[in-house]
Chain A
Amino acid sequence: MAKVLMKGNEAIAEAAIQAGCKYFFGYPITPQNEIPAYMAKKLPQIGGTFLQAESEVAAINMVYGAAGTGARVMTSSSGPGISLKQEGISYIAGADLPCVIVNIVRSGPGLGGIQPAQSDYFQTVKGGGHGDYYMVVYAPATIQEAVDVTMEAFDVADQYRTPVTILGDGMLGQMMEPVEFKQPKKRTLEEKSWATTGYIGDRPRNIINSLYIVPSMLEDTIRKRFERYEVIKKEETKVEVYNCEDAQIIIAAYGTTSRICRSVIEAAEEIGIKVGLIRPITVWPFPDQAFEEYANKDAVKAFLAVEMSMGQMVEDVRLAVNGRKPVHFTGRTGGMVPTPKEILDKIKIILEEVN
C-alpha cells in the first residue's frame, strides 16, 4: 500500500480500524479530538459503533462492557480525561479485559495546558488506578511508529488479556507525516472463550469480574496475572539503541523528545563528543537490559534522561543502571519543548564533571 500523508491522531484512528477495532467510546478533550472525529465518520461505514459518552468515566466503562463481549474496542483521551478513566482501567486490568487506550498527553497537573508533555509517565507506567497491575505501554516517536504499535497493540491486548496504552503527546497527535499501513506479524490468538456473549449451555457461564472476596483467591489471580507480565517482559519489550557503540554519554528519551535528541547527537559529533541514544518504544515493560548492557561499558561515562516533564522516566533509567554510572536529567515541562542547545549544554556540563 502506498504511503499517505496523515495527521498523527487520524493515523492512529485508521490503524485501529485496520487492526479490526469496530467500537470506540470517547469524550472530547484537546489535543486528541481528531481521533473520535475520525472514528465517528468511519466506524458506521464498516458496521461498527462510535459513541460519544457523557464523560470519560462512562466511556471507559463502555469499553469494559464491549471488551467483555470479546470485541476489539478503543478509547482515547488526554491527561485530565485519562485521570477520570483510571478507575475503569483498574477494573479492566482486574477483569483481564483486552482493550486499547490512547493518551495524547498534554501538560498537567490539573487543567495544566494543551501543549505537548510527557508528564503522564508515572500515571501510565506505574499503575494510575488502584491495585497491583501493569499494562503494556507503547511510546511511539513517529507517526509511522504510532501506526505500527497501534496495530500491534490490539494483538498484544488479546494475546495477554490486558489493556494496552499508546502514550503519545500533543506534538505526535497534531503533526503530519507520511505513513503506510502494514499488518503486524501474524500471532496465534486464542478464541475468546471467556467472553459474555450469551450462555447457550455449551460452555460454563461466563462472568467478567474483578471481585474476589476470598483473599487467597485474589492473591492467586494476581500472581497468575504477574506470571503473564513476566512473559510480556520477555516477549514484548521494544527498544531502539542508536549510536551507542563507543558513546561517552547515552541519552535516554522516548517519543517526541527522542527526535530532538537525535539532532543533539549530530551536533555533538561535530564537536567531537560521542553521544548515543537508548529509546524505549515500550515504556512498560521498560527495556532494562539495554541500559544494563551499556552501564557496564567503560566508554560510557554517564546517562542523561531527557523528558518533557520534571523527570519521571529517569527513575526507571536509574533502576536499570542501578548505580553503575551516574544518571542525569534535563527537561522542560508545562508544554515547553527542550531545545537541542539546552540538551547539548547539559551534556557538556556532565562531561566536564566526569573528566
Chain B
Amino acid sequence: MAVVFDKTKGLTDKAFHYCPGCTHGIAHRLVAEAMEELGVLEKAIGVAPVGCAVFAYEYFNCDMQEASHGRAPAVATGIKRVLPDNIVFTYQGDGDLASIGTAEIIHAAARGENITVIFINNTTYGMTGGQMAPTTLVGQVTTTSPNGRDPMLAGYPIKMSEMLATIEGAAYIERVSLHDIKHIKHAKKSIKKAFENQINKKGFSLIEVLSTCPTNWGVSPKDAMLWLEKNMIPNFPLGVKKEVE
C-alpha cells in the first residue's frame, strides 16, 4: 500500500495533551517538520516553557530542557554558548515570553544569540485556566479581567514582535498566523527560515505565531479561528517586522 502521508520524525508518538481545536498541535508539527526537512533533529536541543507547552519536551523528538517560567531564552543561551554548532530553539507562550520573561527575550535578542524562538500568542494564560495575558486584547474577557480588559486598570497588550524588531541584535522577526491553510503554509516557511538562519549563523530569529485557545475563549474551534482573524490580526498585524539580509 502506498504511503500518502507520514508523521514527521520530529515528533514522538506521545499523544498531545492539548485541548481539542488548540493550534499548539499545528505549531508543534510545523516546528518538527521544519527541523526534519533541514536535517537538524539530531543536533537540535529544544527548551520548553512553563505554560500549556510545558510538556513540549515529551513531544519534540530531540534532546530537550525544561526551563522555569520565562527563562527559556537564558537556558537556550547557556546551551548555545557551550554547543555553538548545535541547533537550539525555545518554544514559549505569551505569558512566558511577553510577561515574566520579557527581560530574558529582549536581552537574548540584544546579544544576537544565534537561537530560534517560537512564540505562541493566544492572548491568554491557557494552562492556569484563562487569565489575562500581556497580549490580551482591550475589552477581552478573561478570568482576571471579568469585565473585559480595561486599559485604565490593566494597560494595553504588548506587541512583542514590533518591539523586538527595534533591537539591533535581532536578525529576523516575523508574525504569522494559524487561522487558515494559507496562513499555516506560510507559517511553516517562516519557521523553517528561522531555523535556516541559525544554521547560517545569522543570529536571533523569532516567529510570533498567532494561535487559538477555544477552551479559554469559550468558543468552538472553528469560531476560534474566525475570532483570531477578526480580532487578533487587526491588533497584531502579520508580516516580517525585521529581516537582516
Contact = CB atoms under 8 A, between A and B. Distances in A.
A200 B61 contact: no
A54 B104 contact: yes
A208 B65 contact: yes
A174 interface: no
A115 interface: no
Interface string A175-209: 00000000000000000000011111100011111
Interface string A42-63: 0000000101011101110111
Given A61-B74, A65-B75, A65-B76, A198 B86 contact: yes
Contacts of B41: 199
Contacts of A210: 66
A183 to B, nearest CB: 23
Interface residues of B, number: 35
Interface string B47-74: 1000000100110011111111001001
Interface stretch (B21-29, B77-85, B203-211): B77-85
Contact of B62 (A25, A95, A205, A211): A205
Contacts of A64: 65, 67-68, 71, 74-75, 78
Given A62-B77, A65-B47, A199-B62, A87 B83 contact: no
Nearest to B80: A65
B160 interface: no
A66 interface: yes
A143 interface: no
A68 interface: yes
A51 to B, nearest CB: 6
Given A65-B76, A198-B42, A205-B63, A71 B82 contact: yes
Interface in A69-97: 69, 71, 73, 87-88, 91, 95
B189 interface: no
A251 interface: no
B64 A196 contact: yes
The 8 closest A-B pairs by CB, nearest first: A65-B78, A61-B74, A196-B63, A62-B78, A65-B75, A66-B78, A54-B107, A61-B71
